[in-house]
Amino acid sequence: MSNRNNEKMKAKKDVSVVIPVYNEEQNIEDCYLQVSRALRQMKDKRSEIIFIDDGSSDNTPSKLQEIFQKDNQVKIIQFRKNFGQTSAMAAGFSLSEGEIIVSMDADLQNDPTDIPLLMAKIDEGYDIVSGWRRERKDKLISRRIPSILANKIISFTTGVRLHDYGCTLKAFRKEVIKNINLYGEMHRFIPAVASWMGTRITEVPVKHRPRTRGKSKYGITRTFRVILDLITVKFLLSFSTKPIQIFGIFGLSSLFFGSVFFLRVIIQRQFYQIPADRPLLLISIFLIFAGLQFILMGLLAEMQIRIYHESQNKPIYAIKNVLQHE
């Protein structure tokens, strides 16, 4: 029994580096070598590298197989098709063994030598350390300016002030990231989603390198998906356990104005002989019915939230530590 426990202790990892990969045959080998070199510098840390092949259609899978054959610290997760970066990162997080999980891109724009910098911040007591590409090497009009605007909007909406939500290079404590379910384009919102648990979040400037090989996978259409996910994140942060409050606000407001307009129509008809069959009557009826529908939607959402939490035994709080007398 003790030997088995010793084996488990030996197998335990301190750091897991999660790297989503999609059609990066020109970069993947250099990426592996640079990450391995950076991890070797942290001699006191036991580490693993997890590559998630997100349905690559080029020679990436065979190159990953070669890397896997020569390094027993490497894990390869292969998707049947392209599911997207968020799904790839979720799979990597799920199968990681490290107490600290570092995510980064495989295109070599993230610099693996920054990994120890993130780890040092984690050692200071932070739960999430996010990279900040202060001197970004992307195109000004198509990438940098939209990114600056998006980061300001996200920071304002979520209340978590970061300069660079889009930087994949981040470090997380395992107990934080394992409690977050990712969908859509949600990987960039992890710090915001995790903030409800009272996590300590910080940001450090990291190096950013221009892409020299391969092709960028990001297009302008991604912006619209991010905006929709931002709406979801805001709802989850503010109303995930109390949806009746947001639906109820709209419902009560609609009922109030509908009732006022309807009362005005009745008074004008009774005392001033103004005909009732006019647009204001239709507007008042519409607002009253809309208000009732919003309230009913809120009640249904409340029921679904309770089913969701109770069926999965999912808590509505996050405990950092418990102190008690034995």
For the chain of 326 residues, list the mean pLDDT of each consecutive stretch of 10.
47 89 93 95 90 92 92 91 88 92 94 94 94 82 76 86 90 90 80 86 92 65 70 76 85 94 90 83 93 92 75 57 45
Strand spans (E) along the chain:
13-21, 47-53, 74-78, 98-103, 128-132, 170-173, 201-205
Residue 231: its pLDDT value, please?
79
Residue 216: its pLDDT value, please?
64
CA 305 to CA 183: how far, in whole Å? 18
CA 296 to CA 247: how far, in whole Å? 8
Residue 11: its pLDDT value, please?
58
CA 129 to CA 198: how far, in whole Å? 14
Q: Is 206 helix (H, G, I), strand (E, B) or coil?
A: coil
Task: Find the distance separating the first CA and the last CA of the chain, reported in whole Å.
Answer: 27
State the residue for tokens 């006191």.
44
Residue 244: its pLDDT value, please?
85
Q: Which residues pair with 17 in a beta bridge?
A: 49, 102
Residue 193: its pLDDT value, please?
85
| Assigned token pair, 291 | 């208000």
- Phi, psi for 76 (deg, rounded to 5): -120, 125
Task: Name the nearest CA neighbour of 64 among 97, 104, 22, 94.
Answer: 22
CA 184 to CA 165: how far, in whole Å? 15
Q: What global pTM score does this model have?
A: 0.74
CA 77 to CA 21: how far, in whole Å? 10
Residue 220: its pLDDT value, please?
56
Q: Is 272 helix (H, G, I), strand (E, B) or coil?
A: coil
Task: Name the nearest CA neighbour of 99 among 28, 42, 165, 33.
Answer: 42
- Phi, psi for 92 (deg, rounded to 5): -65, -45
Q: Are 181 and 168 in contact (CB under 8 A)?
A: no
Q: Is 132 helix (H, G, I), strand (E, B) or coil?
A: strand
